[in-house]
Amino acid sequence: MFALMTNKQIYRQYLHQLEHIYSSLEAMTITDWIFDTVAGVKRSDLIKNPDQVVESIIILELNTCLNELMQHKPIQYILGEAWFFKMKFKVNDQVLIPRPETEELVQLVIDDYNNKKYIKESEKKLSILDIGTGSGCIATALKNNLTNSIIHAIDVSKGALEIAKENALNHKAEINFTEIDFLNEKTWHQLPNIDIIISNPPYIPVQEKKTLDKNVTQYEPNLALFVRDSSPFIFYEKIAVFGKKNLLPNGKIFVEFHEDFAIQTAAIFKDDYRVEIKKDIFGKDRMLIINKK
């Protein structure tokens, strides 16, 4: 039997526990999200009805979530959902949790298109390739914002593609998904010529793994995060070669990269492209806009 607890009591218990491993702001954000999703209780409800008794079955669910959170499991994996570009996406340990920085990458493509930097023929659709699609959040967001587009999305992970397909279906986004190991150039014949390449590829050297938070290293797929220390720029090198062959005239590449390696990443494209480094909302070098010469 559970002792009777009120909204206020259990909310405070959550905050107290989570503040041992998260900042106060993070703990509050997570608690609000859990209460809203699991208990159907919003912050405004806590203010209006702090002494409302929580049902025992809800307390059980909340405690189960709390136990997982205290083991550093990301809330997105616990709830099986994450928000990206104002859309809810299904996520699990087969895919990375979408980040705000990647929303900025998507917005760059949308803004660039809307600014009419591409030749827009009424009968021609914009073709886009998302390399390493993961949850499909990039591809789905682009399709729903650039309706006059054909989206191709690839990933080496079968498990990731299953999630990506489900997310695209949920958001009524028509996307061509293909299981491909992009690092293997022999697979490139399966891909069409395109106007835009977009990618948030693995770019963290394995040696940095020990510096990352447990909620990342213990739960998110290493395949989507890390690259060998001996070849940290392998995906960008392959994208540069692929783009020379498969980008259409006036084509562009948009990529996210490691904040410490802006110059090195940009240098990979300098011979065959015009490159612009873009900062994220935190003022860190984070993205490249690459124009085919």
Query: Is the pLDDT reported for residue 134 higher than 90?
Result: yes
pLDDT in tens, 36-68: 999 999 989 888 988 999 999 999 999 999 999
| pLDDT value, residue 115 | 82
Mean pLDDT value across residues 246-250: 94
Question: Is 136 in contact with 200 (CB distance < 8 Å)?
Answer: no
Strands 149-155 and 126-131: parallel
Domain boundaries, the chain: 5-71, 82-292
Which residues, at least 6 apart from 249, have a Cβ–Cβ distance to it below 8 Å?
292
State the amino acid at position 259 in one-letter form: E
Q: Which residues of 94-116 are buried (b: 16+ CB within 10 A; e: fewer)?
A: bbbbbeebbbbbbebbeeebeee
Among 224, 257, 228, smallest CA distance to 240 is for 257
pLDDT in tens, 149-168: 999 999 999 999 999 999 99
Closest CA to 83 of 44, 140, 31: 140
Which whole number is the average pLDDT over 208-232?
Answer: 95
Query: Superfamily assignment of 82-292 in CATH?
Result: Vaccinia Virus protein VP39 (3.40.50.150)
pLDDT interval class at 1 (50, 70, 90): very low
- Report whether pLDDT(117) > 70: no
Mean pLDDT (whole number) for 99-120: 85
pLDDT digits (tens, 9 = 90+) for 70-85: 999 999 999 999 999 9
pLDDT at residue number 125:
87
